[in-house]
Each structure stands twice: as structure tokens, then as C-alpha cells.
A and B are shown apart, each in its own frame.
Chain A
Amino acid sequence: GQSLEQPSEVTAVEGAIVQINCTYQTSGFYGLSWYQQHDGGAPTFLSYNALDGLEETGRFSSFLSRSDSYGYLLLQELQMKDSASYFCAVRDGNFNKFYFGSGTKLNVKP
């Protein structure tokens, strides 16, 4: 089966840096994605890692270590609008199936 573990909630102040971790167990693994979801909204894509290392996109970076079955999303220069839920998702061994973690609710405080 598949399992993805994320912290349920994280709180940080505006301007700070926060890291959201994701550990996974899958029967097959092809890549790790991150999605942002504001309350009442649809998930929106942030990043994807297929290979080990850090991918940077503006204020957001994502890291993957396949040997540790671990990844994280790093958000820098936090803004109030970053308050949302963040989900990691794995692409299963088969190319067209994706599993999402339970999500981490990020609260950004002034």
C-alpha cells in the first residue's frame, strides 16, 4: 500500500522560513509533487521532484531524497497569503496514479 506522512499543522510568522516534511512508503515511486490548497479552493501545483536534490521556484523550494523516502517543501519570506494547506503527492510506479498525503495546514501570523 501507500502511505504519506506530513505534520498536520505548522505556524510561522510573516517573513520567516518554514519547512514542511513528507515521508512516504510506496510500492513504486516515480516522483513527489507538492500542491497548495486554500480553504474552499482547488489544489494548485507548486513543484515536482523526480530526482534527488533541491528544486527552486521563486520563494518555494522542494527537496527529495529517494534513499530516505523523504522530501520537504521550503517556503521563504512567508506572506499572509501563504496560509493554506500543503499536500505532498507521490506518483505511483504506474504512470498515471497519484497518492496525496493528509496535508499540512500552514498558519502565517503577522
Chain B
Amino acid sequence: EPEVTQTPSHQVTQMGQEVILRCVPISNHLYFYWYRQILGQKVEFLVSFYNNEISEKSEIFDDQFSVERPDGSNFTLKIRSTKLEDSAMYFCASRPRTSGSYEQYFGPGTRLTVT
């Protein structure tokens, strides 16, 4: 069964460094998302992406964040200058256009630790 994959599974970085989190959505899906989840807390929407551009973003998604779909398969989230409070699990998700249930398929996540 097709699944969303994410790399790396765990990233440790120093405050102020740039990180790129990578995702490979399911191949025939058209909508892509990034979420984050601070340990023990709720899943927070960051950004959605459709037709090669951002369709929605949250207040969390400020100028430090950017997303790209550099080729037909990868979907990346870049944090330019990480802060301690960026430490969280980052989930990528995708969904097909035809899903009347708006079911999102989540990847296993990347745990980002900022020291």
C-alpha cells in the first residue's frame, strides 16, 4: 500500500542553523501539508500546498519557514534559523483530489530537536 515517507526520522540541530525536512507524498496525491506537534500537545497546521503553490498557511508559518516541491516527488519544509521552540515532531501529509472524505495520509514524522 502506498505511504507517505519522511526523512530524516530524527534531526538534531543547533539554534540558528537551517534545517530541511523532506517528504515524499503518495504519488497520485495533489494536496500536501506540513503539521507540527510539540510533545504531548495537539497537531498544529503549518501550511498546505496545491498546484505548486502555498494555498493556506497558519500564523506559525512565518518568514522563517518555506516549502518547496522541487521535483515531481519531493516536498520539503525549510526552517531558516531554528529556535529552541521549533523542537517538535513535524508531520507531512497528502491527500488525493477526489477524496470526498478529505482523508489525509500522514507520514511517520521527523523529530526535530533544537539545542
Contact = CB atoms under 8 A, between A and B. Distances in A.
Interface size bracket, A side: 20 to 34
A97 B44 CA distance: 11
- For the residues of B in contact with A, the DSSP-based class is strand
Interface in B19-66: 31, 33, 35, 41-45, 48, 50, 55-56, 58
Interface stretch (B67-75, B76-84, B96-104): B96-104
Contacts of B50: 96
B45 A99 contact: yes
Nearest to B54: A96
The dominant DSSP class at the A interface is: strand
Most buried by B among A41, A45, A96: A96
B56 A45 contact: no
B100 to A, nearest CB: 8
Contacts of B44: 100
A101 B31 contact: no
Interface string A10-31: 0000000000000000000001
Contact of A31 (B42, B56, B102): B102
Nearest to B108: A42
